Amino acid sequence: MVWMKAEEKEMKDEVKTQCDSRCTDENIKSGCQKKWALEVDMLIAEVGSKCAEESGVTKCFDGKKGAIDSDYDKCKSDTKKTCGDAYDECKKKGKVDKTFKDAKAFCDDRKKMCLKQADEKCLDENKAALDKAQKTCEELADKALTKCKEDTLKKKEEDAEKKCISERGPTCKDDCAAKCEVTKMNKCLEQFKTDPKDDPTQYFCKKMWNFLHESSEIDPTTGNQIVLISSERRLQ
């Protein structure tokens, strides 16, 4: 838009017009928002890592684990007593002291099976409780993690935008004008001015026209068929 102007003064005036337009508060803010959009991907991992540490999963799980461990210990104690009582009842009813020796062995085996089943039951209940606690804490942490990341990134975006505007605003027009120095541009262009007949674009177009005209079966000027190309060349 500047280069197309005829006079240098008009070019400089156009630079000022364009820079005034680009340096409005709205455009500066828009430019800063685009700058943030290019930078935010590099911050997401850092923010996510920090928020994960602050999400409280470990603290939440540790708080629930204490009660779960107590329930497990109580389960083991209760089932051990139940198996012991059943063992004593077995020996009493079986009168193991007065009958054959295999009677006591039967009660011993029952007690072993009871304890084994009791341990499995307590372990299964303990594992289920731990899994539930972990899932609950992760769900709570997920909400906290999401909120932490959103809040942190929003704060960083606001801070980055304020800083960008404060840095770009005061120097925007000068920086813009420095990107299009009319006098230097014209001085540079002067070095490449040539005679119109030596214009490389005109030379290329003329050569291309001759090539098309000479190698085509249809005259591009009249539309009439011409025979200026051999059959062998046409096949190629």
Task: Render pLDDT for 208-217 as a digit per residue (tens, 0 to 9).
Answer: 777 776 665 6
**9, part of any domain:** no
**142-150: long-range contacts at Cβ-Cβ below 8 A with a sequence spacing of 24 or more?**
142/55, 144/54, 144/55, 144/56, 145/48, 145/51, 145/52, 145/55, 148/51, 148/54, 148/55, 149/44, 149/47, 149/48, 149/51
229 is in which domain, residue-wise? 194-235
Let me know whether 43 and 123 are in one domain: yes
Let me know whether 36 and 102 are in one domain: yes
For residues 78 and 67, what is the distance between their CA atoms, to the nearest angstrom? Answer: 16
Average pLDDT over residues 185-209: 74
**87, part of any domain:** yes
Give CA 140 to chain center in angstroms: 22
pLDDT for residue 99:
63
Let me know whether 106 and 211 are in one domain: no
**88, part of any domain:** yes
Let me know whether 71 and 139 are in one domain: yes
Q: How many independent structural domains does the chain possess?
A: 2
Let me know whether 158 and 226 are in one domain: no
pLDDT grade, residue 164 (50/70/90)? very high
Let me know whether 127 and 81 are in one domain: yes
pLDDT surpassing 50 at residue 149: yes
pLDDT surpassing 50 at residue 236: no
pLDDT grade, residue 5 (50/70/90)? confident
Q: What predicted TM-score, i.e. pTM, was given to this entire model?
A: 0.44
**34, part of any domain:** yes
Let me know whether 154 and 228 are in one domain: no
Let me know whether 162 and 201 are in one domain: no
Please report where in the chains the tokens 């063992």 appear, as a residue. Answer: 87
